[in-house]
Amino acid sequence: MPEEVTMQSALIVVDVQNDFCPGGSLAVAGGDAVATRISRWIESGNDYHLVVATMDSHPRPDPTQPFPHFSDHPDYMRTWPPHCIEGTCGARLHRNLRLPPSAVVVRKGQEAAAYSGFAGHDDHGVSLAENLQRERIGAVDIVGLATDYCVKATAMDARAHGLAVRVFADMVAGVSLGSSGRALDELRNAGIVVETSIDGSRSRPE
Ligand SMILES: [Zn+2]
């Protein structure tokens, strides 16, 4: 007898934190508007089995322990101004982002730069991949910041984990338009569906 396949879906909200929104140390234009759109999307009755929020979470700068992810002269490709330092306001999720109480928060970047949410763990030390596996998640929708870095890395890793992946182009924002456009092309080439949330609600399998 064929085993019954139940494919649950999850929403992964990537790094919608103050430092990546206008006013933050590494602001992405439109990050706050993305936060609002994600909240509306969640509240409009999208029935995800699991909602995960990833957070960049870095140690305080310490002169005795260089942290190569940060630089006073960042190139905005490999090095960045200090951001999302644990315990600071900049590290908090943006106030426009409203998550369900059941949402799982996954933090990454404590030891080194970590662009993908799959490098992160929840408060119990459980990885993002394990969280998805134990809820039998087969498909993920990915939204958040920034398109060309952490959204891209998280989506590529989700694909590498064998998940069906969609990225909603109207609920992401990037560091630069050029690299964000290239990132979305790379995602499409990897078999990831890139569409708007309006198309997504039409095509959503029930
Ligand atoms: Zn970082």
Q: How far is the CA of 16 from the centre of ligand 1 (A)?
A: 12
Q: How far is the CA of 195 from the centre of ligand 1 (A)?
A: 26
Q: Give me ligand 1 centre to Cα 141, in Å.
A: 22
Which segment of 7-11, 33-37, 163-167 scores lowest on mean pLDDT? Answer: 7-11
Q: Where are the domains of the chain?
A: 8-203
Annotated catalytic residue: which of 15, 19, 32, 157?
A: 15
Catalytic residue among 108, 141, 148, 152: 108
Work out whether the CA dihedral 25, 77, 60, 94 comes out positive or negative.
positive
Least reliable range by pLDDT among 60-69, 91-100, 102-111, 122-131 = 60-69
Indicate if the pLDDT at residue 125 is higher than 90.
Answer: yes
Give the three-class secondary structure for 128: helix
In this model, does residue 59 exceed pLDDT 60? Answer: yes
150 in active site? yes
CA distance 168 to 11: 11
At 135 the three-state DSSP class reads coil
Catalytic residue among 56, 148, 150, 152: 150
> Helix count (H) and strand count (E) of the chain?
5, 6
Question: How far does residue 81's CA lie from ligand 1's centre (Å)?
Answer: 9
> How big is the chain, counted in residues?
206
C-alpha distances in Å from residue 150, one per residue of 8, 116, 144, 157: 23, 5, 8, 10
Any idea which of 13-22, 23-32, 67-76, 178-187 has the lowest mean pLDDT? 67-76
CATH class of the domain comprising 8-203: alpha beta
Residue 132 CA, ligand 1 centroid: distance in Å: 23
Kindly state the average pLDDT of the residues 84-97: 98
Mean pLDDT along residues 85-98: 98
